[in-house]
């Protein structure tokens, strides 16, 4: 029960990060948000685990590098850019497809226990829900065209969900190798920053001004993303994956759409129409169906 509560806390915080990032995009480029966020997170973890993690095998460095590339650099860049083109509500709902991709990747790696008729019916229902959400968050012609810009953002969010599934599998492998959660998280952050720093300097645009950084709203959102959503929640997520497994842990992500949608309406004033509500219901129903076995319990 303890680690189920840890997973629940983690996804509750992550459900609000889409709104926080959307606010920051008014002042920062997606890459600068990414760099500042994880630089804060890495600095916060250093005093907690000041020593360099000793690897049991040199090849394990590839696991940490791949986790940094997927879960830090690729996932959050895709998410941040997606938020430029579509709403926080849409991104929050679409990335909830991560459990479905985790199940598929686990099956490709040999664990086919979750692939049954419930999984495939749930997958189809959830994907249909994502299309409905895309229509609901597009422009005036979204029902016919799904809105070209909105659709591009939605596709980026879907790709981010796939990347997160890869990250969850890698974190499980790292945990199975016997590495402690916080120290592992710090090393993953390091590899993420190794990839993010040059990309930001080359393509992130001008360095944010001191006035922009010290603006109370920007500073509060950056600290929230860096300290709580990154440093704390990546550690709690790693603990959840270690003790519950990647498939069970990612099941909790089905709560993210409801959390994000509520926060987006209350804080950002984003629209909530019948199409979005219908798509949200279909996506959550599909996720729940795909994650239940024949006995009706979470797999």
Q: What is the DSSP string of 155-171?
A: HHHHHHHHHHHHHHHHH
Give the closest residue to 111 by CA, choosing from 60, 160, 172, 67.
172
Q: Residue 279: CB partners within 8 Å, gap ≥ 6?
A: 93, 129, 130, 131, 132, 133, 134, 135, 136
How much is the pLDDT for 139?
47
CB 223 within 8 A of CB 35: no
Q: How far apart are CA 155 and CA 170, in angstroms?
A: 23
Give the closest residue to 6 by CA, choosing from 170, 171, 248.
248
Q: How far apart are CA 137 and CA 149, in angstroms?
A: 10
Q: How far apart are CA 104 and CA 203, in angstroms?
A: 33
Q: How far apart are CA 32 and CA 28, in angstroms?
A: 6
Q: What is the DSSP string of 197-236?
A: HHHHHHHS-SPPPHHHHHSHHHHHHHHIIIIIIIIIHHHH
pLDDT digits (tens, 9 = 90+) for 32-79: 999 999 999 999 999 988 888 889 888 999 999 999 999 999 999 999
224 strand-pairing partners? none
Q: How far apart are CA 282 and CA 170, in angstroms?
A: 29
Residue in the structure block whose two tokens are 């994000």: 260
pLDDT digits (tens, 9 = 90+) for 215-250: 999 999 999 999 999 889 888 887 887 788 766 776
Q: How far is the CA of 198 from the CAs of 125, 194, 252, in angstroms?
A: 40, 7, 34
Q: How far apart are CA 166 and CA 128, in angstroms?
A: 23
How much is the pLDDT for 81?
94
Query: What are the residue ranges in the chain where pLDDT is below 50?
Result: 139-147, 293-299
């Amino acid at each position: 029960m303890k680690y189920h509560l840890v997973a629940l806390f983690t996804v509750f915080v992550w459900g609000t990060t889409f709104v926080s990032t959307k606010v920051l995009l008014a002042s920062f480029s997606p890459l600068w948000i990414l760099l500042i966020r994880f630089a804060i997170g890495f600095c916060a973890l250093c005093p907690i685990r000041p020593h360099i993690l000793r690897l049991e095998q040199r090849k394990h460095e590839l696991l940490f590098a791949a986790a940094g590339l997927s879960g830090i650099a690729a996932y959050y860049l895709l998410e941040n850019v997606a938020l430029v083109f579509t709403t926080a509500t849409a991104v929050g709902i679409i990335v909830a497809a991560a459990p479905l991709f985790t199940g598929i990747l686990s099956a490709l790696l040999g664990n086919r226990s979750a692939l049954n008729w419930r999984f495939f019916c749930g997958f189809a229902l959830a994907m249909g829900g994502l299309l409905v959400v895309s229509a609901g968050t597009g422009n005036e012609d979204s029902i016919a065209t799904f809105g070209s810009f909105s659709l591009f953002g939605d596709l980026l969010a879907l790709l981010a969900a796939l990347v997160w599934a890869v990250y969850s599998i890698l974190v499980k492998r790292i945990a199975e190798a016997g590495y402690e959660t916080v120290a592992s998280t710090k090393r993953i952050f390091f590899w993420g920053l190794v990839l993010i720093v040059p990309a930001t300097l080359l393509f992130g645009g001008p360095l944010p001004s001191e006035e922009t950084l010290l603006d109370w709203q920007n500073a509060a959102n950056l600290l929230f993303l860096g300290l709580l959503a990154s440093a704390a929640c990546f550690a709690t997520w790693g603990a959840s994956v270690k003790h519950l497994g990647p498939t069970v842990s990612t099941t909790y992500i089905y709560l993210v759409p409801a959390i994000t949608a509520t926060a987006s309406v209350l804080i950002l004033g984003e629209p909530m129409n019948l199409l979005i509500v219908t798509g949200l219901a279909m996506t959550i129903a599909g996720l729940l169906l795909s994650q239940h076995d024949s006995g009706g319990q979470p797999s």
